[in-house]
Chain A
Amino acid sequence: MQKRTFSRKYLGIPYALFLVCFVAAPLIVLFYYAFTNGEGAFTFRNLTGFFTDPNTLGTLFYSFGIALVTTVFCLLLAYPTAYILAYSRLKAKSVILMIFIMPMWINFSLRITALKEILTWLEGNLAYHPFLNTVLGMSYDFLPFMILPIYTTISRLDGALLEAARDLGAGERGAFLRVTLPLSLPGIMSGVAMVFLPAMTNYVVLDMLYNSTYIMGSLIGSYFAAYDWHGGSMIALILLGIICLFTLLTDGAQEENTRGGTLL
């Protein structure tokens, strides 16, 4: 009789089940709805409908714009902060870092509600600046995700490399541009990915700030709310495609960077 032995492979079973139930199956369902009409027949109408409807296309560009501006804004705030933090000789370094991280521990809707009060007080009516408000809300929410990876890469940078650059004739600026900045690109890239992707899909911020405009997330929600599962699935699928593409691009850039291609 063959003895049953415990193999390490069995440890993968729970996750495999999870994967099938919550990733593979929903994806299949998503594909099914995206390419069928109300009668269950195969159709491309949902796809062509998305790209011919000026409303949905407009929402896509608007979402993209918000995500882009949020990402750039976060990067501009985060890089100098991370840089100064990484090179400061402060003993309280970890405390300061903590101050930036701590908002992440406070309930998200509470934070946005607080922001809403402040913005209302400043602007009078939130409806006047929907774009600005959304960018501010998302930046507030996602900033730590940009600071952390950049801070980590900069603080792990070998100080001897900077000394070598100075030794070879580079001034402080030159050493920063040719050594520190290119070597912190992996951190920038993961920061960008961690801010851009959620900014593209998150609509809670927008909703809570009583924004009248639509972004991708809210658009999908509205389709499902109107029981148009087919159209909603198609938009979700298109968004998925865009995110996949973006992830591949940032990964490619990171790869390029570690392989020694200079971006400067």
Chain B
Amino acid sequence: MEQTTNIIELRHITKTYEDGYSAVLDFNLEVKQGEFVTFLGPSGCGKTTTLRMIAGFDLPTEGEILLNGRPITSLPPNKRPINTVFQRYALFPHMNIYENIAFGLRQKKTPEKEITKKVKKVLELVDLEGFENRRVDTLSGGQQQRVAIARAVVNEPQILLLDEPLGALDLKMRKEMQLELKEMHRELGITFIYVTHDQEEALTMSDKIVVMSEGKMQQIGTPEDIYNEPINAFVADFIGDSNIFNGIMTGKLKARFCGGEFICVDDIEEGTHITAVVRPEDVNLTAPEEGRIRGTVTSVIFKGMHYEITVESGKNEIVAQSVHSAREGDRVGIQVEPDNIHLMLAEDHTNIFAVEINKNYELEYNGTVLPVSLPDIIEGSSVSEDGTLLDKKGLEIEPDKVRIKISIKPQDIELTDDQEEGLVQGYISNLIYKGDHYSYVIHTDLEQDFVVNDEYLWNMEDQVGLIMPVEKMIFTVKK
């Protein structure tokens, strides 16, 4: 069913709370009839708020929402032909399954005979035939999930909104439900708008993915587009595993990053700061002398179809996927095909670097403990009585199974003469005057490059410390 009309349009939607915090900023989106659109992003990126505005639970402070071309911005939720599947299902505990599903139909004064017929049909759709008289609390999580879907779908909404509907299910159940939801979407032909923080879920299910961060749309496109051509370092890092490096163009189709010079296909002016993204499957491991750069294998993990091999070159970590195994401690060379290097302009450059979790469950970088608490960073986690870190389900989190990356903007880092004051030390390896400020590349003692904007003039080769305020850091967690 291919139609060119937009079923829903969001125009310049902004949601600002009373305290001045903007959950969503100037968000624009057009969704076509029958599409499966996913809002993807880390927690706090504004995806759920956007969904709530479409449902009518929250009102945007600015902007307009159009349904079939007609404004519905301030219509209450009960007046919208849109239904929601809630994160925690929100089934009515005082009603049986039949009454739960019939709730919407009863509001429309549907004759009882028709209700019975429709409930039966929708229960078949979600594979729960004969569950009419069961109580909500006798159902498993997965079954409750299905009832929640049935309760929404039975009203034949024009748009079905799903707010992390699979978040509370275990992995196996989640995989099954992903396929079933996709199948259901095909069968019903209803437009689905789906919210998740799980990039794999988004890639599996969607026709179109909207990647969000800090209330803003970062990129919109098909799963293939987003995976293969990430528009910036955030998207590259969030979708799939990526090696991300800061670098600079050193010549025509030549870029220097990760301690080596690589040939690439993006024609960018010499001297421009760039961000280079290389997917692990595109990293070729060679004999040391054949590689552009050399390094030492630090870990090898068997992943079923391939090995995940981590190579340390200087202080840069490069993750490679290979069908051939390697041994820890091996010296290897690294080679990347030019068209597998994705370069992005580093105009709005974000520095991304990995930090370690130490034995006391603190974040550590360059021997300094960062003044942040882990439970604040890892969503749903808590610290148990004996000091170990527990996840949402109460299972222990092993520090070496979690990777935490910090992003920080160039303007949020401060340079200082007093090197000890900085979180990390290095020398200025490049500087460009940008009209009202200088943009520096600092090559740190840990062999990483940081981009820093500063209004004061420093000289090439100056030894500096980098002060990074914790409140400006954005943490992303990968397991």
Contacts and interface: CB of A to CB of B under 8 A. Distances in A.
Given A167-B78, A169-B108, A260-B94, A160 B86 contact: yes
Interface in B85-122: 86-88, 90-96, 99, 103-104, 107-108
Interface residues of A, number: 23
A255 B423 CA distance: 61
Given A166-B78, A171-B78, A260 B107 contact: no
B86 A163 contact: yes
Q: Which of A163, A166, A167 has most B Cβ within 10 Å?
A: A167
B22 to A, nearest CB: 21
B95 A169 contact: no
B107 A170 contact: yes
A158 interface: yes
Contact of A166 (B77, B93, B135, B152): B77
Interface string A197-217: 000000000000000000000
A174 B135 contact: no
Interface in A215-264: 257-262
Nearest to B57: A163
Interface string A117-141: 0000000000000000000000000
Nearest to A264: B94
Contacts of B57: 163, 166-167
Nearest to B154: A168
A183 interface: yes
Nearest to A163: B57
B380 interface: no
B135 A260 contact: yes
Given A160-B86, A164-B86, A260-B136, A169 B94 contact: no
A169 to B, nearest CB: 4
Contact of B103 (A163, A165, A259, A261): A165
B151 to A, nearest CB: 7
Contacts of B155: 168-169
Nearest to B99: A262
A160 B90 contact: yes
Contacts of B83: 167-168
B249 interface: no
A182 interface: yes
Contacts of A183: 93-94
B90 A158 contact: yes
Interface string B74-86: 0011100011101
Contacts of B96: 260
B50 to A, nearest CB: 16
B99 A168 contact: no
B104 A262 contact: no
Nearest to A169: B107
A258 B92 CA distance: 11
Interface in A139-160: 158, 160
A182 B94 contact: yes
A261 B103 CA distance: 15
A178 B443 CA distance: 65
Interface string B47-63: 00000000111000000
A257 B95 CA distance: 9
Q: Which of B91, B92, B104, B135 has most A Cβ within 10 Å?
A: B92
A179 interface: yes
A260 B93 contact: yes
Contacts of B135: 259-260
A258 B96 CA distance: 11
Contact of A161 (B76, B87, B90): B90
Interface in B227-271: none
A182 B95 CA distance: 10
Contacts of A160: 86-88, 90
Contacts of A259: 135
Contacts of B151: 164, 168
B397 to A, nearest CB: 28
B134 to A, nearest CB: 9
B352 to A, nearest CB: 35
Nearest to B55: A167
B392 to A, nearest CB: 18
B95 A262 contact: yes
A85 B478 CA distance: 42
B94 A257 contact: yes
A79 to B, nearest CB: 17
B108 A164 contact: no
A183 B91 CA distance: 12
Contacts of B77: 163, 166-167
Given A164-B84, A166-B76, A260-B135, A174 B92 contact: no
A94 B151 CA distance: 37
Contacts of A171: 76, 78
Interface string A93-118: 00000000000000000000000000
A183 B94 CA distance: 7
A31 to B, nearest CB: 41
Contacts of B94: 182-183, 257-258, 260-262
B383 to A, nearest CB: 26
A167 B81 CA distance: 9
A262 B100 CA distance: 11
Nearest to B161: A167
A171 B91 CA distance: 18
B88 to A, nearest CB: 6
A191 to B, nearest CB: 18
Given A163-B86, A168-B103, A260-B135, A179 B92 contact: yes
A261 B133 CA distance: 11
21 contacts: A158-B88, A160-B87, A163-B55, A163-B84, A163-B86, A163-B90, A164-B91, A164-B92, A165-B92, A165-B103, A166-B77, A167-B77, A168-B107, A168-B155, A169-B104, A169-B155, A174-B107, A183-B94, A260-B95, A260-B96, A262-B94
